[in-house]
Amino acid sequence: MRATFDFLARAERGSRLTFTYVRQDFLDGKMLYGWPSEYRRFVASKLWMFGMTPETGPDFLEHYGWRVVEGAGYHELANKYIQPTGRRLAATPIERIVYAEKA
């Protein structure tokens, strides 16, 4: 992930970026959000190894020259972006979405 953000740090000012991430407390096993089998499947097996928190994410991005414009969690994501489309996409409590702009 750091190599990816090293690359993204070279983006032009005003560029926009949207991405999802997994909550760090889930990866650390501190909070399983009702997903113990998914924890074993994705985290214990080392498929998912990088996460952030809503509190530390902005500092992480700032280090690479990005500014968080909006961050959303499970309910905000589903209500604001999925439900209005009429699509049936599953969002999970461990996912967050970030919309950022290159400063």
Alpha-carbon gap, residue 97 to 70, rounded angstroms: 8
pTM greater than 0.75 = yes
Contact present, 44 and 65 (Cβ < 8 Å)? no
pLDDT, mean over the chain? 92
In tens, the pLDDT along 51-93 reads: 999 999 999 999 999 999 999 987 887 788 778 888 877 778 8
Categorize the per-residue pLDDT at 94 as very low, low, confident or very high, splitting at 50, 70 and 90. very high
Edge-to-edge strand ranges of the sheet holding 95-102: 51-52, 16-23, 95-102, 66-72
51-52 vs 16-23, strand pairing mode: parallel
Tally the C-alpha atoms within 13 A of residue 61's C-alpha that lie toward its C-beta. Answer: 26
| Sequence-distant (≥ 6) Cβ neighbours of residue 92 within 8 angstroms | 33, 35, 74
What does DSSP assign to residue 68?
E
Domain of residue 30: give its range.
Answer: 2-102
Number of domains in the chain: 1
